Every structure is written in structure tokens, then in C-alpha cells.
């Protein structure tokens, strides 16, 4: 299946560790909880998918501008921004702490890239030792409906960067 503008996203389950000040001491791990696509109902959300937490492009170039432009996203009516990867919820939590996301952007785990795969948005990086991952993509959803879907055609950032995503918001 391939997801397209106008489609409703398929149901999905994710794990995440909710940010709390206690996590800042770097020795606390938090407790993973479940989030489902039901959390997107009635909301405008941006889902930034990356192949892996702490990987060079994702860590240095892709996620930081979303945090830096957080207020611009809010001003465009975005209720919440999620960053998604196939990493486990503890790695995603550690990455969120390292990035300083706090309660602004929620780092969610698409375990085994199943949700991404259900939309035709996974990538097999087995040759590079990473297995099947979520591809680099951005979804803009409004009440579970796809307003925009952008997937990178290759390495780097050409159409999933923060500025391009902002330009797609009304």
C-alpha cells in the first residue's frame, strides 16, 4: 500500500517515554507507554520520520530545525509534532533528551517499522546493518487525514526539512 494525500492513515501503535524533568539527570529511563493513532484524532499533527536516532543526518540536520522552528509550527495551527523511528522507546527517549525536545516534540517508536511499512514508507537498510527502518518522510495529518506526504528519494534532505514542511501548512 502507498499512502496518498486525502487518505486516512492506518491504525498504528507506538511506544514512547513521556518527557519528565526527572529524565534530565541522564540516569532515569522512564517507563514506555503506548500511543495510538487515536491521539491524532481531531488534531493537526506533523510526523517526522527518520531512519534512526543518533544517525548523522537525522541527529544533526533533520530534527534540530523542527525544534528550532517549533513556535512557527504552532503558529500554523500544528497541535503536535512527533519524531518517529524504528528504534526502541528507550533509545528514542535518550535521543529526545540529547536533542532537548522536552515536551515540545514527542519521540515515538515505530517498532520494526510496521506502521511505516503499512503505508509503503519503510526502507530496507539491512546492507548497512540497520535492518528494516522507517524511511525519511514527513506526514502532515488533519484529523487522521493526510494533508501532505513527502518522502526523500535518496540520502539527504530535499523535501522533508522543516522549512519545506512549514511551507505546506496553511
- Cα 133 to chain center, whole Å? 12
Candidates 29, 36, 48; CA nearest to 150 is 48
Within 8 A by CB and 6+ apart from 165, the residues are 46, 48, 66, 138, 140, 148, 150
Domains and CATH numbers, the chain: 13-155 (3.40.30.10)
Q: Is the pLDDT of residue 71 over 90?
A: yes
Within 8 A by CB and 6+ apart from 161, the residues are 61, 62, 65
Half-sphere exposure in the Cβ direction for 65 (13 Å, CA): 13
The model's confidence at residue 151, banded by pLDDT at 50, 70 and 90, is very high
Catalytic residue among 23, 48, 58, 121: 58
* Contact call for residues 128 and 22 (beta carbons, < 8 A): no
pTM: 0.92
Mark 137-151 as b/e (b = at least 16 C-beta within 10 Å).
bbbbbbebebbbbbb
Confidence at residue 52, expressed as pLDDT on a 0 to 100 scale: 87
Q: What's the mean pLDDT when you consider all of the chain? A: 91
The model's confidence at residue 126, banded by pLDDT at 50, 70 and 90, is low
Candidates 35, 1, 4, 36; CA nearest to 18 is 35
Percent of the chain with pLDDT over 90: 72
58 is catalytic: yes
| Digit-coded pLDDT (tens) for 3-57 | 999 999 999 999 999 998 888 877 778 899 999 999 999 999 999 999 988 887 7
Amino acid at each position: 500500500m502507498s499512502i496518498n494525500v486525502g487518505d486516512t492513515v492506518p491504525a498504528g501503535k507506538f511506544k514512547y517515554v513521556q518527557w519528565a524533568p526527572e529524565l534530565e539527570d541522564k540516569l532515569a529511563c522512564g517507563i514506555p507507554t503506548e500511543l495510538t493513532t487515536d491521539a491524532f484524532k481531531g488534531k493537526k499533527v506533523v510526523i517526522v520520520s527518520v531512519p534512526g536516532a543518533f544517525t548523522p543526518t537525522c541527529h544533526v540536520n533533520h530534527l534540530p530545525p523542527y525544534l528550532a522552528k517549533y513556535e512557527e509550527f504552532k503558529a500554523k495551527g500544528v497541535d503536535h509534532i512527533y519524531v518517529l523511528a524504528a528504534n526502541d522507546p528507550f533509545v528514542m527517549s535518550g535521543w529526545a533528551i540529547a536533542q532537548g525536545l522536552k515536551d515540545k516534540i514527542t519521540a515515538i517508536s515505530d517498532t520494526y517499522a510496521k506502521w511505516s511499512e503499512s503505508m509503503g514508507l519503510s526502507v530496507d537498510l539491512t546492507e548497512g546493518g540497520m535492518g528494516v527502518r522507517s524511511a525519511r518522510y514527513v506526514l502532515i495529518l488533519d484529523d487522521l487525514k493526510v494533508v501532505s506526504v513527502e518522502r526523500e528519494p535518496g540520502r539527504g534532505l530535499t523535501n522533508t526539512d522543516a522549512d519545506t514542511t512549514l511551507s505546506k501548512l496553511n
